[in-house]
Structure formats: C-alpha cells, structure tokens
Amino acid sequence: MLITFVAMEAVAWFMHKYVLHGFLWFLHKSHHSHHKHAFELNDLFFAYYGTLAMLFFIFGSDPIDYRFWIGAGITLYGVAYFVIHDVFIHRRLKIFGKSSNVYLKALNMAHKVHHKTQGKYGSESFGMLWVAPQYYITANKILKKQEKRKRGTVYD
C-alpha cells in the first residue's frame, strides 16, 4: 500500500505534465481557468482513479492479494490529494486557515507557480506532494521574516 502511495506521486507528476497538459488539456484547462461553480471538468479524473482503485479492490479481494493493497494505495493517495490540493491549496472547503508549516507553505507556493501560467504550455511544478528545494528555501525565508515581524524585530 505504501509503495503504491509513493509511486502515485510519480504517476501523478507524469500524468499531469504529459497527459493533462497534453492531449487531455481540454478537460484539465477548466482547472487553470477562473470560474464560480463548484465543479470543473478536471474533476472527472477523480472518477478515473476511483474506478481504477475500485477494480483493484474487486479483483484483489477474494482472497485478498497484492491488487487489494494497490487499490488501497491509490485510494489513500486520492484522499491525500483531495485534502492537500482541493481543500488546503484551492480552498474548495473553507476548513484550514493559513499555515506556518514550511512544507505546506512551500507546497502552496509551488502550486501557485504552476497556476501562474494559464495555458497548456509553460507551467512548472507538476507534482502534488513532492516540492522542489527552491520552494522550501523561499518558504522558510518568508516564514522567518513573518515571525520576526510578529515579534517586532523587523521593520520595513
């Protein structure tokens, strides 16, 4: 299950860069455009991965074998994706406030850089959980500066 969960980050990166920003851009572009409705065509990818996980569960459950655990890993990644990407980053549900966690700040920054380009080409940072080191460095500097401001030791 954990191997599948980790592998899903590589699958998600590849799919995002070469498929979503490739031949399935017509579905994914809804995620890169501003809209006021709750759902977007891009949400169909949840159905794809949900169906894939369900098939692994079905064919790996009698008796339980490795396919069941692959389905569990895909499902766990899907839950993480929903919480991190849809709830925390895009604020589809207003549950979390701003975080002072360096990893979450870096993740949010990387995602904002990805969305800075509205079109099919020119984006960077295609992963969901893995964050390039430059975003950690920048996030850490920003959070330290904010902390100093709170304490009143930095003046602009």
**pLDDT given at position 90:** 74
**pLDDT given at position 153:** 63
Structural domain includes residue 120? yes
Structural domain includes residue 43? yes
- Here the tokens at position 139 are 């996030």
Rounded average pLDDT over 36-46: 82
**pLDDT given at position 155:** 59
Q: What is the DSSP string of 8-31?
A: HHHHHHHIIIIIIIIITHHHHGGG
The number of beta carbons lying within 10 Å of the beta carbon of residue 138 is 15
Mean per-residue pLDDT of the chain:
87
Which residue range forms the structural domain that includes residue 51? 2-151
Structural domain includes residue 156? no
Rounded average pLDDT over 63-75: 96
pLDDT of 154 above 80: no
Task: Give 126-138 pLDDT, tens digit per residue.
Answer: 888 888 899 989 9
Q: How confident is the model at residue 68 (pLDDT cuts 50, 70, 90)?
A: very high
Domain count, the chain: 1
Structural domain includes residue 114? yes
